[in-house]
A = this chain, B = another copy of it.
Amino acid sequence: MSSKKRILIVVMDGLGDRGCEELGGLTPLQATETPNLDWFTKHGTAGTCDTVAPGVRPGSDTSHLSILGYDPLREYTGRGPFEAAGIGLIGRPGDVAFRCNFSTCDDSLRITDRRAGRVDKPDTEELLSALDGMEIDGAEALVRAGTEHRAALILRGEGLDARVTDADPHEEGPILQSRGRVPEAERTARILNEFVRRSYGAMRDHPVNRRRIAEGKPPANVLVPRGAGEFPHIRPFPEIHGMSAACVAGVGMIKGICGVCGLDVLDLPPECTGGAGSDFSAKMRAAMAALERYDFVLMNCKAPDVAGHDRDPRLKCDVISRLDEMAGVLREGFPPDLVVAFTADHSTPCSLGDHSGDPVPIAIYTPGNVMDDASVFSESGCAHGRIGRIAGRQIVPICMDLADRVEKFGA
């Protein structure tokens, strides 16, 4: 056996598309020159990938679980845990996690502003310090502020059960009493209701809110949970594969998924924003630097997804051009002991403005691999390659084999 190689998976979020009228029926990838991505396709192997399964419209969470080799049909327990992890609140198996809003309510716990005037840090962080660590009936409450009015809550303790209804009415009006969907979850619902009540008690007269009221702003005086999910028992990626692993990503949700799976979530240079204007080349240099310390790096570039959601094919073409320059940075400084896979987590067709189940292109390259007859990195071009049509959770095994990291099965 030669020595083991390292692995880089570049996930260009929402990259796949459908034919766009504005581009003469071509997809943005088909319509854009991508000499560097094409080079990797021509010198490597290519194919088509259903991140979850044919016809399934994946979220970024379920698709990244797949790309990391997990079966989301088994491991995905709802948004709560992954959103919590996304803002750095990574729980343990058995914890029950919730997404929360800071809201404005009156003394009868009736919501008058669901987003508390889009309150933001540092107010939210200061308010939460009054709640974090609260004990209710043997359970501990952990809270963390997210973007604007968003926050996460984890309840930790023996015998909790995530099968509870939302306290959030999802509109202005009385905060709901959470109930157990099954008898085993009734205690958790009672704890949750008590948490909501106490959050109002602790924040109503908080100095931050007195100041906000004085400034004419709605007070952020209650935390309203929804989307309960149990933290999944996910076996850490480094333990499964025997590789140290990190992620280079700007988006909270992706960082959350990677964190839950046991990858180190790295800090990014400030010019990597996760938005359409993000500096992908700087991100690639950060990933290449990370590969000097880690066996495996997952890198996510959110921008093509943003362009797809904005239904903007021209912007997506522009983003793709800059993604190709990013691929050029890797091509130029390509370490000989690296396996790289360029792919997407799902398609976000501009005509749809949302994720679709269309499969995505994938190209995998390492020096000395089999060159196949695919030479263009696009939805159609990669279909000429010998990877064929694979599932997202086959990407890691295929890369590990090319990295000479797989034990022989048999003799």
Residues of A within 8 A of B (CB): 1-2, 17-21, 25-27, 30, 47-48, 52-63, 72, 76, 79, 82-83, 253, 351-359, 368-373, 379-390, 394, 396-402, 404, 406-411
**Contact A383–B373 (Cβ < 8 Å):** yes
> Which single residue of chain B is at the shortest CB-CB distance from A381?
B373
User: Given the known A-B contacts A351-B2, A369-B19, are A390 and B389 also in contact in the complex, defined by CB atoms under 8 Å?
Assistant: yes
- Residues from chain B with a CB closer than 8 A to the CB of A404 are 352, 356
Interface pairs (7), CB distance under 8 Å? A54-B398, A57-B406, A59-B408, A62-B410, A72-B410, A79-B410, A387-B389
Specify which of B58, B60, B79, B407 is in contact with A57 (CB 8 Å cutoff): B407
The 3 closest A-B pairs by CB, nearest first: A59-B410, A55-B397, A388-B389
**Contact B1–A357 (Cβ < 8 Å):** no
- Residues from chain B with a CB closer than 8 A to the CB of A380 are 370-373, 386
**Contact A1–B352 (Cβ < 8 Å):** yes
- Residues from chain B with a CB closer than 8 A to the CB of A59 are 408-411
- Residues from chain B with a CB closer than 8 A to the CB of A351 are 2, 368
A5 vs chain B, min Cβ distance (A): 12
> How far, in angstroms, from A61 to B408 measured CA to CA in the complex?
11
- Residues from chain B with a CB closer than 8 A to the CB of A26 are 371
Specify which of B18, B52, B371, B386 is in contact with A370 (CB 8 Å cutoff): B18
> How far, in angstroms, from A57 to B407 measured CA to CA in the complex?
7
The number of times this chain is found in the oligomer is 2
**Contact B352–A394 (Cβ < 8 Å):** no
> How far, in angstroms, from A402 to B21 measured CA to CA in the complex?
16
- Give the secondary structure class of A's interface: loop
- Residues from chain B with a CB closer than 8 A to the CB of A17 are 370
> Which single residue of chain B is at the shortest CB-CB distance from A394?
B54
List 6 other contacts, CB 8 Å, given A17-B370, A19-B371, A373-B383. Answer: A21-B368, A52-B409, A54-B397, A55-B400, A383-B388, A387-B389
> How far, in angstroms, from A371 to B371 measured CA to CA in the complex?
24
- Residues from chain B with a CB closer than 8 A to the CB of A47 are 388-389
**Contact B388–A385 (Cβ < 8 Å):** no
> How far, in angstroms, from A377 to B60 measured CA to CA in the complex?
35
**Contact B401–A358 (Cβ < 8 Å):** yes
**Contact B1–A55 (Cβ < 8 Å):** no
> Which single residue of chain B is at the shortest CB-CB distance from A356?
B401
> How far, in angstroms, from A228 to B52 measured CA to CA in the complex?
39
**Contact B371–A25 (Cβ < 8 Å):** yes
- Residues from chain B with a CB closer than 8 A to the CB of A355 are 408
> How far, in angstroms, from A396 to B400 measured CA to CA in the complex?
28
A74 vs chain B, min Cβ distance (A): 13
- Residues from chain B with a CB closer than 8 A to the CB of A398 are 54-55, 357
**Contact B410–A61 (Cβ < 8 Å):** yes
> How far, in angstroms, from A90 to B335 measured CA to CA in the complex?
50
